[in-house]
Structure 1
């Protein structure tokens, strides 16, 4: 009988950048790779994040969760996976372990994690997983090589990587190990990163070049240098610390997330303890200083935004300062960052971004990096992942042009790849499930409630309370609250009183409680005649 040896099912991370989660299933093993979140677009009205719907996994629940690295789009949904599958075992590399523990300590939740390194072999019944070191923008990042016991099938999932042989902080992509472990497999499946497939950089530049730029900039005469970058980019923090030390400048890490990640890097042994300040008040003085600020995407409460807008308690920009934007704008953040650049410029401060110098490099592969991966791993079958739908399509076009010996397929979340006992590969269309919206303290909120938020934000709201005498049940007063509407509405209360009394006139007392909906409609029509749209209207009797 031609049975399925291996099933691969992306639950998130395909057709999107975020929510990375992939189900691996065999006859004896069911496990997840990564459990990430997706950051919302502007349309979601202050929602914290989105996670994949896990309902499709309940019938055959995963026993293990293997984490590739510590970015939030790979570890941010772990608490929700644990809520659904409390007995699941977590496996993660060292830096991710520290981040996960910090997160769960803050939540006062106990969690057990089995740490692995590049010498580990993760043994799961009829398969084993070999971590393969890759370069990326956060320490201890791995691709995962999944092998069956008979060495017939190798599946290499490498959702985030770059190739950086001259990286000053970590060793290069471990192609030797990948080749050694996979060369004898009859089928080699590759699930590679698609993030930069549209990039004009054929090869992603090295972090060493950013270090060189920082060293050059820090030698300038500017009194203070402000930098903003992703807080999780430990190599960028290291480059700033090294350059500050060489130029005899103090360096302050500013912003909670920046300090948290840096302290984690200290605990990991990647940054020397005492090599940076974290409290502006502890600085001997604020001259000849480097300030590394969090919130590089212009986040509303972020440190970068506060400094740029002149709202920070400790730092006011002057024309002697320099500001380095050492990150790329993620989709949806471009306008916010542009406005902050204008604010900085109006204060007479010079800005250096990637437009002027190489002060940021990506953590993802260019096209020549992808081709180098193909040529080393020699896949028979390639399934692009970690990218929006356009990226995946362009990635497949690139494969067909540059590596036509491999078959490839366009996959969507919840689709399945099946590898049979005769080593035939097929895909099965899945039933897509909408993501779960998470708000506040990790609480799920329904999508229709977001629609209500949108209406509140765009049309405002009218609250009408009708007070009644508890004995006679007669109406004695009306109280109005107008939110998000012109102030002139407070002058229309007499008109509203007349409108409501006219509507209620002649009605029987016992039917008053049933008139709330009719009153709501009348009020909305009246308001529409004044302002041209209908606010949300809520009527209740007190």
Structure 2
């Protein structure tokens, strides 16, 4: 880190994740030499990341100065805002602040992943200013697709910053209060310098539907079905789970939860006073005892996760639950970009089994948790910031959000990139430096870089295969036996045989021509590797991972 471009007294905003992408939100704020972090989330891998389960932000920038980090404030309980905590908290070791439901989820993750860690969890009330380091922070109640979402007001250095978190304006959110419009109006009246805002639906005109719309749509859709009905949704969408329990009651069906995440999150919600009318759930052992027309399954797996309940049901590998011809599965969720192929595979497997698949394109069974353009404009009218910084979106989303902000008479809209060190003042925001950023993952319990040698080799093996050669030389530098070449993932059948035979011959010729270099193992390894790589490229156009084993033996003893 190099701080020559700013002063300790500056108010800085540094996104380490979530800018230019959807997911992995992690943001830093600085004043008078101290920092606070807002959110610490995960993202999910794409097809270029074999063997990766979660993607984490790189925290090198703040890890080097964690003694100056006063706290982590979590705006709400979605995985892209808190999912990295159990993997990365030990690099920070700071208190964690949030609303009661959010902290209930954090507490569960820490108990599972860091059972011996002494993590200080501090609940923040709404509409009350609290001092964290050099910042005065205040939560403002908003609505989103999870309980207790909070917008965050930060005050420092004479600046007032409003970080929206994820939000929408929902007049009937089913669970929890409506957005606190009065506080937002008062905040705008007092003067806001910078608004850092959600860009997810910045390209979508109109307003986002209410959770009550989804509830009515689900009741209508479920009422029309005769066989078993399974509905999959985000486990964290407690209001949607409540809507499904209500729909089960309205349609004469008994509800059944399937999926560990659903049980974990509904337990947390009930501990915080939500889901007060909780019914007796059908147990998995009683699944086949309930008439087909009288059961409603609520499942994890809306994003095609391979180990989820719905994926296993669709592939016929769930140990107790099955769906058959005449049954229906409803996807009460949106497709997160990058998950389309996985979701399509689950839906194809269901259709092969004769199961009817219904999505929000077929019936009004889902609403977004993020604001569309009309609501975003309404927020700008309430807050009236001087400066806007769009986050939580790809570059397309951020540009659309910035244009909307300018249309709302915001004097400056700065589009950030992960790692940008942005100085904030009352007149403008400017990028004054850059922080180290990158992508990390968890491998065998260790946090490693996705561009590490291990992960690069794994990707190369996936796309290019692996080749090895064993070369046995006498102490006088002569080949004792023909080189043994093996390959994996390079070619099929006779083409693989042809490669291995030709590679062995080429290695023989190359070693015979080495003269005195034949006594240098490193040089022999280099020459053999060139033979293997060159032949693979000429025959198949591939660049496999190459391993060379050199063995030196006493020829007389070997004979």
TM-score strictly above 0.5: yes
Counterpart residue number, 2:382:
376
Equivalent of residue 68 in structure 2, options 61, 65, 72: 61
What's the CA shift for 1:131? 0.5
Relative to 1, partners in 2 of residues 1:276 and 1:155: Cα closer, same or farther, differing over 3 Å? farther
Is the Cα contact below 8 Å between 1:513 and 1:541 reproduced in 2?
no
What's the CA shift for 1:138? 1.3
Is the Cα contact below 8 Å between 2:219 and 2:247 reproduced in 1?
yes
Relative to 1, partners in 2 of residues 1:439 and 1:127: Cα closer, same or farther, differing over 3 Å? closer
Is the Cα contact below 8 Å between 1:7 and 1:25 reproduced in 2?
yes
User: What SS is found at the alignment partner of 1:64?
Assistant: strand
Is the Cα contact below 8 Å between 2:377 and 2:404 reproduced in 1?
no
- 1:114 paired to 2:114: no
Unaligned regions of 5+ residues in structure 1, if any?
none
Counterpart residue number, 2:546:
537
- 1:74 paired to 2:81: yes
State the superposition RMSD in angstroms.
2.9
Equivalent of residue 207 in structure 2, options 199, 203, 206: 203
Equivalent of residue 44 in structure 1, options 49, 52, 64: 49
Equivalent of residue 242 in structure 1, options 234, 242, 246: 246
Relative to 1, partners in 2 of residues 1:475 and 1:242: Cα closer, same or farther, differing over 3 Å? farther
User: What SS is found at the alignment partner of 1:391?
Assistant: helix
User: What SS is found at the alignment partner of 1:43?
Assistant: coil
Alpha-carbon deviations, 1:434-466, whole Å to 9, x = none? 413213324213515333222211121112233
Equivalent of residue 197 in structure 2, options 179, 192, 198: 192
What's the CA shift for 1:502? 3.5
- 1:31 paired to 2:31: no
Equivalent of residue 271 in structure 1, options 240, 265, 275: 275
Give distance in 1, aligned partners of 2:427 and 2:166.
Answer: 27
Equivalent of residue 390 in structure 1, options 396, 403, 406: 396
User: What SS is found at the alignment partner of 2:390?
Assistant: coil
Relative to 1, partners in 2 of residues 1:210 and 1:15: Cα closer, same or farther, differing over 3 Å? same
Is the Cα contact below 8 Å between 1:259 and 1:278 reproduced in 2?
no
User: What SS is found at the alignment partner of 2:68?
Assistant: coil
What's the CA shift for 1:304? 2.1
Residues 383-422 of structure 1 aligned to structure 2 (within 5 Å): 383-401=389-407, 403-420=408-425
Is the Cα contact below 8 Å between 2:483 and 2:508 reproduced in 1?
no
User: What SS is found at the alignment partner of 1:44?
Assistant: coil
Is the Cα contact below 8 Å between 1:229 and 1:296 reproduced in 2?
yes
Is the Cα contact below 8 Å between 1:254 and 1:279 reproduced in 2?
no
Equivalent of residue 167 in structure 1, options 169, 173, 182: 173
Relative to 1, partners in 2 of residues 1:198 and 1:257: Cα closer, same or farther, differing over 3 Å? same
What's the CA shift for 1:369? 0.8
Counterpart residue number, 2:141:
133
Alpha-carbon deviations, 1:307-340, whole Å to 9, x = none? 2233333333322211101111111122332343
Counterpart residue number, 1:215:
219
Equivalent of residue 433 in structure 1, options 425, 433, 436: 436
Give distance in 2, aligned partners of 1:467 and 1:249.
Answer: 71
Give distance in 1, aligned partners of 2:150 and 2:198.
Answer: 12
What's the CA shift for 1:250? 1.8
What's the CA shift for 1:82? 2.9
Equivalent of residue 481 in structure 1, options 482, 486, 498: 486
Give distance in 2, aligned partners of 1:534 and 1:148.
Answer: 54
What's the CA shift for 1:4? 4.9
Alpha-carbon deviations, 1:172-212, whole Å to 9, x = none? 11121233355233x43211111101124x10000101111
User: What SS is found at the alignment partner of 2:151?
Assistant: strand
Equivalent of residue 520 in structure 1, options 523, 529, 532: 529
Is the Cα contact below 8 Å between 1:253 and 1:276 reproduced in 2?
no
Counterpart residue number, 1:454:
459
Counterpart residue number, 2:90:
83
Deviates more, 1:125-134 or 1:479-488: 479-488
Deviates more, 1:117-126 or 1:242-251: 117-126
Give distance in 2, aligned partners of 1:164 and 1:419.
Answer: 31
Give distance in 2, aligned partners of 1:392 and 1:480.
Answer: 52
Deviates more, 1:60-69 or 1:524-533: 524-533
Relative to 1, partners in 2 of residues 1:4 and 1:242: Cα closer, same or farther, differing over 3 Å? same
- TM-score between both structures, scaled by the size of structure 1: 0.89
Give distance in 2, aligned partners of 1:514 and 1:380.
Answer: 65
Give distance in 2, aligned partners of 1:298 and 1:503.
Answer: 50
- TM-score between both structures, scaled by the size of structure 2: 0.87
Unaligned regions of 5+ residues in structure 2, if any?
1-6, 552-559
What's the CA shift for 1:121? 2.8
Alpha-carbon deviations, 1:57-85, whole Å to 9, x = none? 33573111111111121112324553333
Relative to 1, partners in 2 of residues 1:483 and 1:25: Cα closer, same or farther, differing over 3 Å? same
Is the Cα contact below 8 Å between 1:155 and 1:190 reproduced in 2?
yes
Counterpart residue number, 1:229:
233
Relative to 1, partners in 2 of residues 1:279 and 1:482: Cα closer, same or farther, differing over 3 Å? farther
Give distance in 2, aligned partners of 1:303 and 1:219.
Answer: 23
Is the Cα contact below 8 Å between 1:417 and 1:425 reproduced in 2?
no
Alpha-carbon deviations, 1:141-183, whole Å to 9, x = none? 100112349xx53211012001001122121111212333552
Is the Cα contact below 8 Å between 1:130 and 1:144 reproduced in 2?
yes
